[in-house]
A and B are shown apart, each in its own frame.
Chain A
Amino acid sequence: NAGVTQTPKFRVLKTGQSMTLLCAQDMNHEYMYWYRQDPGMGLRLIHYSVGEGTTAKGEVPDGYNVSRLKKQNFLLGLESAAPSQTSVYFCASRKTVANEKLFFGSGTQLSVL
């Protein structure tokens, strides 16, 4: 069982470059989330989706865009990377509103130089 898979695991970008992080889940979950984890700040919600074709802003959405064209995939895009976006990014998913457990991917470590 793959669960939640994130690609890539590591990436180094130059300021101004763009990239897309892919999150894929094979558990038929409705809800998907993107978090960033920074030292001393815990996890902060960037964007989330409550179903295919829907997305919404979280706590720190600026500089990021997302898409949920297929139920199993949730993409996080950085159009013009900035050093402040250096972080570890986690994707998570959950089946339904009544299931509180979040399933997390193993993370993507992104460095923006």
Chain B
Amino acid sequence: AQSVTQLDSQVPVFEEAPVELRCNYSSSVSVYLFWYVQYPNQGLQLLLKYLSGSTLVKGINGFEAEFNKSQTSFHLRKPSVHISDTAEYFCAVSDQPHFGNEKLTFGTGTRLTIIP
């Protein structure tokens, strides 16, 4: 069985400061990892994904994440945040990205609040 743990439910950060949102996973097979963002009153949008290859993945809006197999982590980072980054961020893991019925397991989310 696979699972995702997002250690921080809320993260307040000052504008223009760096941020790291933590995500740890467990899976008995190869994993495929995703970060989704949910802006207020909207559905989720894909930020970035790791399927294979380079462990450093760059996404939209200046975010990046690093896949660390030994630490079973996929932390999300941004060097300088903006007010518009205020949102809830979800880490997700899947063990079968090439089938329609694969199980995509979401974490409980981290609410990022940017302080002016």
- A residues sitting closer than 8 Å to B (CB atoms) are 4, 30-31, 40-45, 48, 50-51, 56, 59, 90, 92, 94, 97-98, 100-107
Contacts and interface: CB of A to CB of B under 8 A. Distances in A.
Interface residues of B, number: 26
Interface in B93-116: 94, 97-101, 103-104, 106-109
Contacts of A105: 43
28 contacts: A30-B100, A40-B9, A42-B90, A42-B106, A42-B107, A42-B108, A43-B44, A43-B90, A43-B106, A44-B106, A45-B103, A48-B100, A50-B100, A50-B101, A59-B103, A90-B43, A90-B44, A94-B100, A100-B32, A100-B34, A101-B46, A102-B44, A102-B46, A103-B43, A105-B43, A106-B41, A106-B42, A107-B42
Interface string B16-32: 00000000000000001
Contacts of A51: 100
Interface of B: 4, 9, 32, 34, 36, 41-46, 49, 51, 90, 94, 97-101, 103-104, 106-109
Main secondary structure of the interface of A (DSSP, over half): strand
